[in-house]
Amino acid sequence: MGMDMRQGAGRWMPMHPRLWILGVAHLSFGLLLGWILADRERAEIQEALARRAANEAQTRVLQGQMNPHVLFNAISGLTELVREDPAAAEAALVNLSDLLRVLLDNGSRLSAPLGDERRLVGLFLDLERLRLGNRLRESWDWPEALDPLEIPPLMIQPLVENALKHGVSMAVGGGLLDVRVSRKEGWLYVRIANTGPAPTLEKGQGVGLRNLRERLSLLGASSDALQLNREGDWTIAELRLELKA
């Protein structure tokens, strides 16, 4: 009496060979697909890391270019003082050494406390006050409570330098500089305004601003993160930086 393998509880039922083949094929395909996806993910991660490393290296190069640019402009201002006011020139040299120290400290860092940028701007303005005297009139709204926030170095100083070089110092009677820094949720807002001549297209794209725009692009900032506008007698530079958690 033959045994029916398809009947009886608990009896083993042999699988058709085709089903075995299909099962093995599906399993092999699943393993192959998983390997392909994992390999693609690894490649994307490696590409992202390489791109990040390249961007960081380029950012450091651009920051390094700013150091001699800032110093060159500061020294150019000192040449006027040497002829007109030797005592002021001597004081300016002390400020210049402090400025150089801050630039060297931040030149290769990708982020630094906002307080460091405040000190850099302050040292730069100390030199400009000696040169411009009462032709430079300032107003500030930069809360010290924001100083611990981390931002990329040399983000605000180029805007202040641009305002003085192409605005205040070009006006016969000097002009006003208005500096405002604020925070709203996860963003830092910087507004640097000055009176004086309206910047030409060439002046609006000077070395400092070009460098700043390039670094913002490497940081992944949107194209409108830095805006330069004219409102009445004022030239206004507005910078928006995303704060890292």
* CA distance linking residue 231 with residue 126, whole number of Å: 27
Say which CATH number the domain at 116 has: 3.30.565.10
66 belongs to a structural domain? yes
Q: What is the pLDDT of residue 90?
A: 74
62 belongs to a structural domain? yes
pTM across the whole model:
0.72
11 belongs to a structural domain? no
What separation in angstroms does the CA of 111 have from each of 159, 161, 214, 220, 229? 18, 20, 16, 15, 27
Range of the domain at 105: 29-242
15 belongs to a structural domain? no
pLDDT tens for the chain, 245 residues long, are: 444 444 445 565 565 666 667 666 666 767 777 777 776 777 667 666 666 556 555 656 556 566 666 766 677 667 667 677 777 777 777 777 788 788 777 766 888 999 999 999 998 898 888 888 899 999 999 999 999 999 999 899 999 999 998 899 888 899 999 999 999 999 999 999 999 998 775 555 577 888 899 889 988 889 899 999 999 999 999 999 999 86
Query: For the packed helices 157-166 and 17-84, what is the interaxial angle rounded to 10 degrees?
Result: 40
* CA distance linking residue 121 with residue 117, whole number of Å: 6
Domains identified in the chain, total number: 1
Which amino acid is located at 111 in the chain? S
With contact defined as beta carbons under 8 Å apart, do 58 and 152 qualify?
Answer: no
Cβ-based neighbour number of residue 143 at 10 Å: 12
49 belongs to a structural domain? yes
Contacts 24+ apart (CB under 8 A), 90-93: 91/130, 92/126, 92/127, 92/130, 92/131
With contact defined as beta carbons under 8 Å apart, do 118 and 153 qualify?
Answer: no
136 belongs to a structural domain? yes
192 belongs to a structural domain? yes
Read off the pLDDT of residues 23-77 as tens digits, 9 standing for 90 and up: 666 667 677 777 777 767 776 676 666 665 565 556 565 565 666 667 666 776 6
121 belongs to a structural domain? yes
